[in-house]
């Protein structure tokens, strides 16, 4: 069955620390990949997406993600986090041509000022 795994459920970092959130998916074909962020009390917002092309994807607010096909991974990174990055982060995946995306369980990031 298709699934998306996010390895870290809770992450606590100090400001200026580097961030990497893991995401692995289980699907053998061509996939669309997303990272969404949900700030407290707000809706999910798209951080970045990968459909095809350059596997290193730049998103908003200084985030980036790298698609590594051989590892079925799409890890999210940010070189230096800020207090305002405190939020919950969701990875999502689905086969090309789909509308039905599978979401990971989310990672709650807390950044200490």
Partner 1 sequence: NAGVMQNPRHLVRRRGQEARLRCSPVKGHSHVYWYRQLPEEGLKFMVYLQKENIIDESGMPKERFSAEFPKEGPSILRIQQVVRGDSAAYFCASSPSGSDTEAFFGQGTRLTVV
Residue numbers of the site for partner 1 (CB under 8 A)? 4, 6, 32, 34, 36, 41-46, 49, 51, 90, 92, 96-106
Least Cβ distance, residue 97 to partner 1 (angstroms) = 5
Q: Are strands 73-78 and 87-95 parallel, antiparallel or unpaired?
A: unpaired
Q: Which is nearer to partner 1, 66 or 103 (CB)?
A: 103
Q: Which is nearer to partner 1, 17 or 38 (CB)?
A: 38
Q: Which is nearer to partner 1, 6 or 24 (CB)?
A: 6
Least Cβ distance, residue 23 to partner 1 (angstroms) = 11
Q: Which is nearer to partner 1, 38 or 86 (CB)?
A: 38
DSSP string, the chain: --EEE-S-SEEEEETT--EEE--EEE-SS-EEEEEEEE-TTS-EEEEEEESSS-SEEE-GGG-EEEEEGGGTEEEEEESS--GGG-EEEEEEEEETT-S--EE---EEEEEE-
Least Cβ distance, residue 111 to partner 1 (angstroms) = 22
């Amino acid at each position: 069955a298709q699934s998306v795994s996010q390895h870290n459920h809770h992450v606590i970092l100090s400001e200026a620390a580097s961030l990497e959130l893991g995401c692995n998916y289980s699907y053998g074909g061509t996939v669309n990949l997303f990272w969404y962020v949900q700030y407290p009390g707000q809706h999910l917002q798209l951080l970045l997406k990968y459909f095809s092309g350059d596997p290193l994807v730049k998103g908003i607010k200084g985030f980036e993600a790298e698609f590594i096909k051989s590892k079925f991974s799409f890890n999210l990174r940010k070189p230096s986090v800020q207090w305002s990055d405190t939020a919950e982060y969701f990875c999502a995946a689905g086969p090309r041509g789909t509308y039905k995306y599978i979401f990971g369980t989310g990672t709650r990031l807390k950044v200490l000022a």
